[in-house]
Copies of this chain bind each other. A is one copy, B any other.
Amino acid sequence: MSAPTNRANPTIHAVARAAGVSSGTVSNALNHPARLAPETLERVHDAIIDLGYIRSAAGRTLIRNRSDSLGLVMPDLVNVLFVEIARGAQRSASDQGKRLVTANSGFNAHELAAGASQVDDQDEYLEYFAEARADGVLVASMRDPSRGIDRIRNHVRPVVVINYDVPNADWCTVLMDNEQVGRAAIEHIADLGIRRAYFVSIPDIVQPIAERRRGVRAAAAARGIHLTEIETAGLFPEDSTAALAGVLPEPGGERLAILGANDRLAIGALQLLRNRPDLRVPEDVAVLGMDGDHRDDGADWITLTSVVLPGQAMGAEAIRLIDAEAQPGHVHERSVLPVRIRQGASTIGR
């Protein structure tokens, strides 16, 4: 009487036994089916189905020293930009038949701005993907990822960083042009003849904010716009409402533009203005956001003029660069994707 077959966690040997072949033959059935006689192949497949066998990645990765999958480390997904980056990367990887696996560091600029305690597992997950011997690692980040990347450099080949610019980095980088974001906003209102603007933003605690501010300032100087910078405690509508409450202009003054460093801040301005019928949007106050829903579908009652960020394109570009990095003799690239204005009723009227 033989011991009862334990069906939990069957191994390649269990399959081999069931099919009456050696484990090498089972392996060949999976990896090089053409090498087997058709009847043998079928017997092996039947045994696999029968036992519910699923190959262990561990043994396979161990001997091949590669895992056939890419890792993507993301910040918290409150920020829609990163949702769109993840979607773009995901879709592009899937189109190319690549596996993409994502981990979330928890980094959250909203909470950082509010001074809340901050989780950031970026380095831990970089290490995780290095331990897993990922074939490449993508890091979308709001902060300098250099240290974590340096640590894993001996174990992960191609690395692509998204949304953070490290000068002379030893990897490929995908960015959007955040100075252009700021410039585009100013150009738009200047073209409308507006000569006075508020820039509503958290302080420069993350790179994109600092760069947008730089673009705003430079373009305002160039176009002769009188700029007032208004500091908020966070990135939500209510932060904007709170910061703007005391500084809205009197009716009848010169036309004003309010530029939110992100769309939620712009929306806070709109909410405030809804209770000020004496200030018409956009005739008296034009309102503009600097990162829309990234999908260009204007999901709003009054369509908000905004800068549409190339989130999905950034994700797709990052996947392309992972490939490029893997080519011998590759020179690191630094892709800066352009943004564009989406004009809405909040600045140009219906």
Q: List residues of chain A with CB under 8 Å of any chain B CB.
A: 7-10, 51-62, 65, 67, 69, 76-78, 83, 86-87, 90-91, 94, 99-104, 106, 119, 121, 124-125, 127-128, 130-133, 151-155, 236-238, 263-264, 267, 270-271, 274-275, 297-304, 350
Residue of B nearest to A273 (CB): B301
Most buried by B among A152, A301, A304: A301
Complex contact A131–B57 (CB within 8 A): yes
Q: Within the assembled complex, what's the spacing in Å between the Cα atoms of A56 and B154?
A: 12
Complex contact A90–B106 (CB within 8 A): yes
Instruction: Write out the residue numbers on chain B whose beta carbons fall within 8 Å of the beta carbon of A99.
Output: 103, 124-125, 128
Instruction: Write out the residue numbers on chain B whose beta carbons fall within 8 Å of the beta carbon of A54.
Output: 127, 130-131, 151-152, 154-155
Can you pick out 7 interface pairs between chain A and chain B where the beta carbons lie within 8 Å of each other?
A58-B62, A58-B67, A58-B132, A99-B124, A99-B128, A102-B103, A237-B297
Return A97 CB to nearest CB of chain B, in Å: 10
Tally of this chain's copies: 2
Complex contact B90–A132 (CB within 8 A): no
Instruction: Write out the residue numbers on chain B whose beta carbons fall within 8 Å of the beta carbon of A78.
Output: 87
Return A103 CB to nearest CB of chain B, in Å: 5
Cross-interface CB contact of A100 among B9, B104, B299, cutoff 8 Å: B104
Q: Within the assembled complex, what's the spacing in Å between the Cα atoms of A62 and B152?
A: 21
Complex contact A299–B52 (CB within 8 A): no
Instruction: Write out the residue numbers on chain B whose beta carbons fall within 8 Å of the beta carbon of A62.
Output: 56, 58-59, 62
